[in-house]
Amino acid sequence: MSVRTSIAKITTISILLGFFSGAAIAAGDVAAGQAQAVTCAACHGQDGATAIDPTYPNLAGQNEVYLTRQLQMFQSGERDVALMSAQLIGKSAEDLADLGAYYASLPAKHSDAQGSDDDIKAAEAIYKGGIIAKGVAACSSCHGPNGAGNAQAGFPAISGQSVGYTIVQLTDYRESRRGTNDAYGSMMRGVASGLSDGQIALLADYISGLH
C-alpha cells in the first residue's frame, strides 16, 4: 500500500469513526459538572487552564465528546494514569458527561510559540502538509488549520496546550504508551510513529501558539 493510499485511508476511517462515536456520547449538564469540579481545580486550575504543573493539560474549551471519552477511558483504565483514575472512583457515566460539558464550556487559553522563525516554519510545514515520505498525515486534516479540533468527531483541540504535555503525549503515542481505544488511538500512533524527538518538540511549541 502506498503512503498516499494509507493517508487517504486514515482520513476516510477517521471521518467514519468520528461520525459514529460522536453520537454515542450523551450531552452533559454544565452546572452539575461545575459542582463536581472543585477537586479537579486543585491540579487543573480554577479556570481549567492554569495547571499546577507545566506538564498537566489545559482542559478549558476542549470539546465535550473528547473530554468525556477521555474520562471514560481513565475510569476504565484503558488510558492508564493512576493520578487521574483515582479522581474518578465512584463517578457515574452521567457525572463524567457533566464534567466534560463543564470544561468544554470554559474559554480556551491562548499563548504564543517561543521558537525561532525557522523552527515555526518547519513545524508549520509538517502541521499543514505532513511528511509524505514517512506516512505522517497533515495534522490540520483532523485537528483543523488552527488546532481547534473537530467537536463533532471528538478530535481534540490541541492549540494553546501546554508544550510539556504535548511532547509527552506525542512521544507516548509513538511508543504505544498512551492507552486509548483502538479506533482512535491507532490514528495518532500511525501519525506519531513517523516523528522524531526534534520534530515533536518543534510541533509542540508551534501548536501552543495556534489560535
Contacting residues toward ligand HEC, per CB under 6 A: 10, 14, 39-40, 42-44, 56-57, 59, 67, 70-71, 81, 83-84, 87, 99, 126, 136-137, 139, 141-143, 155-156, 158, 166, 168-170, 180, 184-185, 187-188, 191, 203
Distance separating alpha carbons of residues 81 and 43, to the nearest angstrom: 14
Distance separating alpha carbons of residues 48 and 57, to the nearest angstrom: 9
Q: How far is the CB of 145 from ligand HEC (least distance, A)?
A: 12
Q: How far is the CB of 101 from ligand HEC (least distance, A)?
A: 11
Distance separating alpha carbons of residues 84 and 76, to the nearest angstrom: 11
Looking at beta carbons only, is 113 or 180 nearer to ligand HEC? 180
Q: How far is the CB of 35 from ligand HEC (least distance, A)?
A: 11
Residue 161 burial by Cβ neighbours in a 10 Å radius (0-12, 13-18, 19+): buried
Q: In the structure grid, which three cell numbers stand for residue 141, read together? A: 486534516
- The closest alpha carbon to 81, from 109, 112, 119, 43, belongs to 43
Q: How far is the CB of 89 from ligand HEC (least distance, A)?
A: 10
